[in-house]
Structure 1
Amino acid sequence: MKIHDICFIGAGASALMAASHLQGSDVALIDSNTKMGAKLLISGGGKCNLTNRYASEANYLGNRAFIKPILEAFDASATLKFVKGERLSLEERSHGQIFCANSAKELVSIFGRLSAFCTFYLSTTVLHVRKEEHFIIHTTKGEIHAKKLVVASGGLSYASIGASDIGFKIAEQFGHTIITPAPALVGLTLQKEQFWMKELSGIALPVALHVEGKTFSENLLFAHKGISGPCVLSGSLYWKKGNICIDFLPHISSMEALFKTHAKKQITTALGLPKRFSKAFLDAVRLEDKVLSKLNANEKELLTSLKAYTFSPAGNFGYTKAEVTRGGISTDEIDGASMQSLKCEGLYFIGEVLDVTGELGGFNFQWAFASAMRFAKAV
């Protein structure tokens, strides 16, 4: 009977990064997909936003005291040094986002080469796990045995590439607490009062979105289901229930100045927003498109609401549209120095399966890599 030194459940970003640094050990990776790195391959339009130059614990939902030392030990500059050392061509976009310049296939190919010494059990689904003298992993293709077990199975988004709750089930089996999972980095649906936005599907415009003390200044995209785009996806991470506030006029510092400077212009011209948006908003608040100088106090107040349009979303687009999963295994029960379970010796958790979720822009892959390296260096 073959007993591997280390077995990873998952062959995604965190497992591949860790495995690539474990030469000399007998390492196995189990994944239900036919190829390694499935999420890496499809993210970022096939170019994979692998890190963010400005990543810090402030960009994450979770226990920041737990997150901070792990990110600092293997930060964005360490990720960049690693991939540049493997001659990966990179492209930097706005807000510090780093992408593969050509294709995510190049990154996965690097991991494939560095983990060539590993045993891969692909197209293999983990059914359950038990521990005796070592770990016995029951799969659709029989039993796999290992001295150490690393759960790197990710969250519940992207069911199309094998996302499952197996990581949470294993954690619960060994006595871990699960912080209720929910879709994150996902579009938000609308209440009846905001249905006017549904008419604007396809329009994108720069806004400032305020939620739970956080502000995101990027594009908002109107969709058939509700609102999406970079600022909404990041904002959705912090929204649970209650209001969000959107400044649809971030380019205008003062409405009073607008009323004076553009007094002779029609509302739809003075706002400088897409005409379809302006007309839909005016219809929704029952305000006639007139010259600004003719607005009374109440009408000015209605128009000024565009600077702080406050409402409560109905919900979100769900896991099928979510980039990641919020919640997961409580970090209170994980040793941050090694990523080992405090409930079961030899059991480890890395990546998205933990209750650590980053904003949009490369932060989640950076967490995957940093937590992977925390484990790899500890063992």
Structure 2
Amino acid sequence: MYEIAIIGAGASGLMLASSLKNRKTCIIETNDKIAQKIKVSGGAKCNITNSLVTCDNYLGNKDFIKKVLRNFSNDDLLKFLNSNGVYPKINPKLVKGTYFCKSSQDVIDMFTKLTTHVKKILNTKVVDIDFKDEVFIIKTSNTIIKAKKLVVASGGLSYASLGASSLAYDIAKKFGHDVSKLDPALVGFTVQKEQFWFKKLSGLSIMARVKVEDKIFNGSLLFAHKGCSGPLILNSSLYWKKGKISFDFLPKQNYKELLKSNALISSKLPLPKRFVQEFLESIKVKDKSCNTLTKEELEALSIIHNYELSPAGNFGYTKAEVTKGGINTDEIDVNSMESLKQKNLYFLGECLDVTGELGGYNFQFAFSSAITCARNI
């Protein structure tokens, strides 16, 4: 009999386990190694937090998120990492304020050392959970595990190749929790027929601005064979519901000022020539001398500052960084992460209806929710 059983050896599960000293604890993990999602994060350099973290960087209940982040801030996380020999540094090339580690392996090695007191039950899938006589009975692919307290930190549906599944949501529903609609997030967009010209630019990236719902993002837009991706699009996917998004392909300049010349349009616009040529073809304007543009053609070119499109959909869970939606936070005690439906049952991290933007925000929430739980468990 374990005092505490944790399902999932990812960021939140490992942070919790590292904080539970002198407690008979086990971690149940689908993979044959711990921290597999940490390993691939941030291009194997683990984008672990962000200097600009606030509740406004998340989709979900702002009050709930604010309280959890306050329990263990980005500064607290950095102090914790530094005290354990991990020294992340800001690299704003992809997303402003993002802290990257030298290597994801540094984080994995840290948690390996900090959880030597915890029994790790690897390569084991949880099949079902029962609660009887104040004890959780965890049926797995290999054995039956019993525990007085159960913490679910198994993540969402993204990264199925790393063992992601609907397990957290299934457990939540079994114990009476409401689970909001789930969708892939931080993921690329597929496009409508009108934007098939994007596909011809596959592999090309430009700096742009996008407006989606009431959010505005600046960053790198990557054209892909399915549509578009890159940090700009990944963040947009978090907030997009249905309908149009708007691009400014020249966010820092006025196109009319640039076209006061006798040179070709593709020579004067400070964008890759391939992009300009495909863009011009899409709006049916020839690549010609700027001083020969008609009033109508010049007006047509104004769309470069407000190019609207309605995404056809997204690249799906296989390409998504995270899962949007999840377990209703109104049914979770913000001071302990304990279920308000079932005593001694806790939920951490991504499985909750809290989703952060690209740039270390989701790791920060995972760690903050784990520490919130650890202090009260």
TM-score (norm 2): 0.97
Aligned to 1:353: 351
Show CA shifts across 1:291-338 (max 9, x none).
222222221121110101011010000000000000010101111010
In structure 2, distance between residues paired with 1:13 and 1:356 = 15
1:368 and 2:369 aligned: no
Show CA shifts across 1:254-296 (max 9, x none).
334334xx33222111111100000001111111111222222
Show CA shifts across 1:63-113 (max 9, x none).
111100111221111110000000113232011111111x21111111111
In structure 2, distance between residues paired with 1:224 and 1:89 = 37
In structure 2, distance between residues paired with 1:292 and 1:68 = 52
Q: Is the 8 A contact 2:172 2:327 kept in 1?
A: yes
Aligned to 1:122: 122
In structure 1, distance between residues paired with 2:263 and 2:352 = 54
**Secondary structure at 2:180's aligned position in 1?**
strand
4+ long deviations beyond 4 Å:
none
Structure 1 residue corresponding to 2:31, chosen from 20, 28, 33: 33
Query: Quick one: which amino acid aligns to residue 344 of structure 2?
Result: G
Aligned to 1:147: 148
Q: Is the 8 A contact 2:255 2:269 kept in 1?
A: no
Structure 2 residue corresponding to 1:19, chosen from 2, 17, 20: 17
Query: Quick one: which amino acid aligns to residue 58 of structure 2?
Result: Y
Aligned to 2:235: 234
In structure 2, distance between residues paired with 1:142 and 1:280 = 59
1:160 and 2:161 aligned: yes
Structure 2 residue corresponding to 1:322, chosen from 304, 309, 320: 320
1:283 and 2:281 aligned: yes
In structure 2, distance between residues paired with 1:114 and 1:283 = 58
Query: Quick one: which amino acid aligns to residue 47 of structure 1?
Result: K
Show CA shifts across 1:96-135 (max 9, x none).
111111x211111111111110011100000010001210
TM-score (norm 1): 0.97
Show CA shifts across 1:45-64 (max 9, x none).
11111111111101000111
**Secondary structure at 2:19's aligned position in 1?**
coil
**Secondary structure at 1:148's aligned position in 2?**
strand
Summarize the alignment of residues 189-338 of structure 1 with structure 2, pairs less than 5 Å apart. Answer: 189-252=190-253, 254-259=254-259, 262-338=260-336
In structure 2, distance between residues paired with 1:171 and 1:372 = 18
In structure 1, distance between residues paired with 2:197 and 2:318 = 24
In structure 2, distance between residues paired with 1:317 and 1:191 = 13
5+ long unaligned stretches in structure 2? none
In structure 2, distance between residues paired with 1:72 and 1:301 = 50
